[in-house]
Structure 1
Amino acid sequence: MKVGAHVSISGSRVSSDEETPPYNDIRNAVHRQRAFGGNCGQIFTTSPQVWAQPEISEAAAAGFREETETQLEGPWVIHSAYLVNLCTPKEDLRRKSKESMQAELDAAAKLGVPYVNVHLGAHTGAGVEGGLDNAAGVIDDLDVPDDVRILIESDAGSGTKLGGEFEHLAGIIDRTETDIGICIDTAHTLVAGNDLTTPEAVDETIGRFNDEVGLEYLEYIHLNDSKHDVGTHKDEHAHIGEGHIGEDGMRAIVNHPDLRDLPFALETPTEDGRGFAWNIEKVKELHEA
């Protein structure tokens, strides 16, 4: 099973054979992932709360690639900055979003990471069709490196944010000339109005996704339980099996024949004395060999 967590790259890494760089070291992600019991996962390359360019030394990138190959099953996915809004009608935000995405795509190529994950963002008055047109325009303006694929993440669907409906995900695939994929977040999918609480509900939701979007586009899953119920559009993650999806739903998801071989990355909370290690172990318990 390919399961891991969204881990931090924070902190410098001291080495005897090179100068320690004055920024975070990407190699920290590998040993943190192993410490949590994961074998794949997700990272930010820089702070997601500001417009910042990834700063990754050649030595750190080479070390990350080597340690990933020898110590993890992979694959990694890079999560774009939270500020990125592909759907925006605002030219300045569009420009900044494009520049940020290009930097992440270039970092992915440097690190040997096959995916960059991004939310569609909010159309802020442009409307659903206009927002999807805007997003496709940004994506097609990017220079996507070989062996890197953009993944559009499903959203909780609050306000004018797009991606909460399968129709939005199909719409962006139809509009862009770029070979993009999809990352489904289970908590987002639930609160956007899709039942995942029983094996029957999981089957029905996956069937609708296949009919409307196509399972051939699904590349990664953010595996999160939810503190809020179906259709509430409230994005707050819970420990695996202890939210509104529950153990029955989570067991059905991680063992579903159309999903079980995909990589799962957890974005579960650290609270109640439990964190990523507890949640990864819980997923492994639910997964049937």
Structure 2
Amino acid sequence: MLNIGSHLSTANGFKNMGENALKINANTFQFFTRNPRGGKAKSIDEEDIADLLEIMKENNFAVLLAHSPYTLNACSADERTREFAIETMTDDLKRMEYLPNNLYNFHPGSHVKQGVEVGIKYIVDMLNTVLKKEQTTTVLLETMAGKGTEIGRTFEEIAEIISKVELKEKLGVCLDTCHVYDAGYDIVNNLDGVLDEFDRIIGLDRLKAIHLNDSKNPFNSHKDRHETIGEGSIGIEAITRIINHPKLRNLPFFLETPNELEGHAKEIELLKSVYK
């Protein structure tokens, strides 16, 4: 079975997201934990979450993926921004325990001319502060396209962060197809080679989820602009190989393409038609 979903709005609650996932023939979804451009989170509605858990159980949902707000930058040059990142992720991980045993994804951040080593130290410091032995959530570092001073543009940077975190068992990686292609990993012509490199540097056991996106920009552009499946520079043939690859096919795939619900339904239909 192809475990596939899209990014859904939390505006009308968790039950609504579950129902919308079913409408587009998905069996998972991604959602923001709070305002993606701010920091405010809605109060927890335990009845609403219970309704979602029932939908997931009845429809054999795959693992869900929560996404931190874009404002979270653990390696900012601004101390208050770094404090906000710690406060936000701490709160998010507490809230995630209402949806136990799922995934939480975040962008490693931008070091803003402080240098990669300084940036990595700040990210490690945050993770060593917020991760707890008792949490059931696996926190994922997302692979980035490398625009500006982003950290996470190379597998080596992600591996270095993981190596310095105390509770490594709580960490994984979310591979974004648009990001890695834009970062210079040729998943179109050398998917096996990229996965071998990932395995050698990070370990494929760390790969827990895939953001499945086409790219508006060419290979190695370091731009990070997502495109609808099959309409970008990655293309449907390469994406078909990705979702069918024996090392990837059982992972959950999450669409972040520029589409509304109806468009995501068509993309999911297309992907299921080429999944073998």
Q: TM-score, normalised by structure 2?
A: 0.94
For 1:142-183, what per-residue CA distance to the aligned partner results, in whole angstroms no more than 9, with x for missing partners? 144521111000111111111111111111111111231000
Equivalent position SS for 2:139: strand
- Number of the residue aligned with 1:150: 139
Q: In the alignment, does 2:115 pair up with 1:114?
A: no
C-alpha separation in 2, matches of 1:130 and 1:234? 23
- Number of the residue aligned with 2:9: 8
Equivalent position SS for 2:97: helix
RMSD over aligned CA atoms reads 1.5
Q: Which consecutive residues of structure 2, in runs of 5 or more, have no partner in the other structure?
A: none
Q: Which consecutive residues of structure 1, in runs of 5 or more, have no partner in the other structure?
A: 12-24
Residue type at the aligned position of 1:224 = N
- Number of the residue aligned with 2:228: 239
- Number of the residue aligned with 1:47: 35
1:65 shift after superposition: 1.8
Q: In the alignment, does 2:26 pair up with 1:38?
A: yes
> How many residues align structurally?
272
C-alpha separation in 2, matches of 1:189 and 1:51? 27
For the structure 1 residues 132 and 32, does the alpha-carbon distance in structure 2 shift closer, same or farther, using more than 3 Å as the test?
same
- Number of the residue aligned with 1:138: 126
Residue type at the aligned position of 2:43 = E
1:72 shift after superposition: 4.0
- Number of the residue aligned with 2:197: 208
1:5 shift after superposition: 0.7
Equivalent position SS for 1:27: helix
Q: How does 1:1-289 map to 2 (within 5 A)?
A: 1-11=2-12, 25-112=13-100, 114-144=102-132, 145-179=134-168, 180-198=171-189, 201-270=190-259, 275-288=263-276
For 1:74-132, what per-residue CA distance to the aligned partner results, in whole angstroms no more than 9, with x for missing partners? 21010000000122242201111111111211121112351110000001122111111
For 1:203-259, what per-residue CA distance to the aligned partner results, in whole angstroms no more than 9, with x for missing partners? 111111111111010000000011111110111111112211112211111111110
C-alpha separation in 2, matches of 1:218 and 1:35? 28
Equivalent position SS for 1:230: coil
C-alpha separation in 1, matches of 2:138 and 2:262? 33
**Ranges of 4+ aligned residues in structure 1 off by more than 2 Å:** 143-146
The sequence identity of aligned pairs, in percent, is 35
Equivalent position SS for 2:98: helix
